[in-house]
């Protein structure tokens, strides 16, 4: 049997797809054949335009993921609109930077709630549907800070380390139900999330010097790993955190 990366007939739900990595993943999944629902708090005009060019069915779900309040509605809207959910990409995320001594409870809660708590409860809601269906792929967007501590981002490091843990926890429980759960840990990618680092001349130089590939990543650099993990080619891959980082962690 030929190895298949084809997503024809599959339905995907991608959070935070109006910009950056989420947009690149949503478009790549559609180009690989999937119908795609996007869920986020901002109007994803550019993403919808790019998705329309793929000819796949698309759906726009508006939801603020800073709390778990909308998770059941998101899954209900996606299944009603696309008929099913085969692939969930938990991409929406935020970052807050401050010195340890000044770090606030608000900066802690906002990041942990969006990046970890909502990720788990949206996965739970989608998993109920996938378990009934007997198949599914959940792909969480982790970070290098799932492995490292970073600088001035303690709530982000905590949340993304939690994403690695909960990816494995969900993978163990869902594997017998035909659902694979994996994470992608992007390296330093040029998006809104890293605008402050790119603008800081010293940090920018230090970062590029440490990346063996010698450049920042582009959002599109993450999309291939997402298509792979969403595809039948990855049916025996579960509980993994795949770094896509230009070699950063190898150094």
Contacting residue, 21, 51, 153, 234, with ligand NAP by CB under 6 A:
21
Q: How many other C-beta atoms are found inside a 10 Å radius of the C-beta of residue 61?
A: 19
Q: Are 231 and 1 in contact (CB under 8 A)?
A: no
Residue 38 pairs with which residues in a beta bridge? 14, 60
User: Which of 21/32 has CB closer to ligand NAP?
Assistant: 21
Contacting residue, 16, 136, 162, 246, with ligand NAP by CB under 6 A:
16
Rounded to the nearest whole angstrom, what is the least distance from the CB of residue 146 to ligand NAP in the complex?
9
Binding mask 207-236 for ligand NAP (x = CB under 6 A): ------------------------------
Sign of CA dihedral 155, 160, 165, 167: positive
User: Which of 11/119 has CB closer to ligand NAP?
Assistant: 119
Residues in contact with 81: Cβ distance below 8 Å, sequence separation at least 6, in sequence order: 37, 59, 61
Nearest to 61, CA basis, from 25, 93, 92: 92
Residue 111 interacts with ligand NAP (CB under 6 A): yes or no: no
Per CB under 6 A, residues contacting ligand NAP are: 16, 18-22, 40-42, 64-66, 91-94, 114, 141, 143, 186, 188-189, 191-194
């Amino acid at each position: 049997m030929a190895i298949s990366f084809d997503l024809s007939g599959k339905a995907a739900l991608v959070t935070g797809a109006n910009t950056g990595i989420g947009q690149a993943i949503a478009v790549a999944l559609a180009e690989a054949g999937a119908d795609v629902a996007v869920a986020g708090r901002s109007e994803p005009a550019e993403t919808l335009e790019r998705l329309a060019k793929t000819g796949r069915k698309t759906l726009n779900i508006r939801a603020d993921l800073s709390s778990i309040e909308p998770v059941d509605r998101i899954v209900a809207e996606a299944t009603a609109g696309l008929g099913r959910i085969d692939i969930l990409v938990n991409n929406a995320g935020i970052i807050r930077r401050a010195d340890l001594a000044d770090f606030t409870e608000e900066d802690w809660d906002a990041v942990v709630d969006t990046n970890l708590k909502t990720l788990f409860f949206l996965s739970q809601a989608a998993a109920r549907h996938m378990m009934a269906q007997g198949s599914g792929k959940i792909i969480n967007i982790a970070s290098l800070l799932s492995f490292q501590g970073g600088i001035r981002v303690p709530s982000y490091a905590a949340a993304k380390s939690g994403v690695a843990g909960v990816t494995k926890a969900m993978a163990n429980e869902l594997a017998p139900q035909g659902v694979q759960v994996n994470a992608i840990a992007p390296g330093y990618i040029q998006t809104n999330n890293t605008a402050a680092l790119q603008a800081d001349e010293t940090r920018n130089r230090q970062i590029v010097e440490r990346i063996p590939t010698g450049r920042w990543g582009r959002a599109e650099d993450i999309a291939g790993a997402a298509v792979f993990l969403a595809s039948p080619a990855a049916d025996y891959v579960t509980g993994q955190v795949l770094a896509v980082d230009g070699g950063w962690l190898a150094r």
